[in-house]
Amino acid sequence: MISSLDHLNLSIPNFHATVLWYKQVLGFEEVEGGIQDGQPWTILRAGDALLCLYEAQESREKGAMNHIGLRITDRAALEASLAEHQVSVDYGGAYEHPHSTAFYVSDPAGNTLELAVWDHDQIQFPGSGVKA
């Protein structure tokens, strides 16, 4: 019934700075946008990844999100972009998981992103029988 995650929707306090960061650092492009209830919103796309961003002065109304996970296919390009834009990587740099390498960074709104580079560019969990 469900094939994949469709999108993430984030409330952000500084619309223009956050949209610019996603475009410059991670290569997202704006595919739709407008004004709703007097506040700007946009949909950003990078490959199959969709983010809906809208400005809300209140930081978080309910609940909390730990982080956004984005799959990265070009580690060298990612590292170059992070360096060019002076984006700080948490945990002292790349974090090695059993089958992937992750770069944990924060966007201008304070959302944490896990930028995951899978070994051999394949999402696989050996022993589980699950391969994506």
Q: Which option is the CATH number for 8-57+66-125: 3.40.50.1820, 3.40.30.10, 3.10.180.10, 3.30.1130.10?
A: 3.10.180.10
Q: Mean of the pLDDT values across residues 100-113?
A: 92
Domain boundaries, the chain: 8-57+66-125
List, for residues 24-62, the tens digit of each pLDDT value.
999 999 998 999 888 899 999 998 888 989 888 665 455
Expressed in percent and rounded to 5, the helix, strand and coil fractions of the chain are 20, 40, 40
Which pLDDT score, from 0 to 100, does residue 67 have? 85
Which pLDDT score, from 0 to 100, does residue 4 have? 67
Does the pLDDT at position 63 exceed 60? no
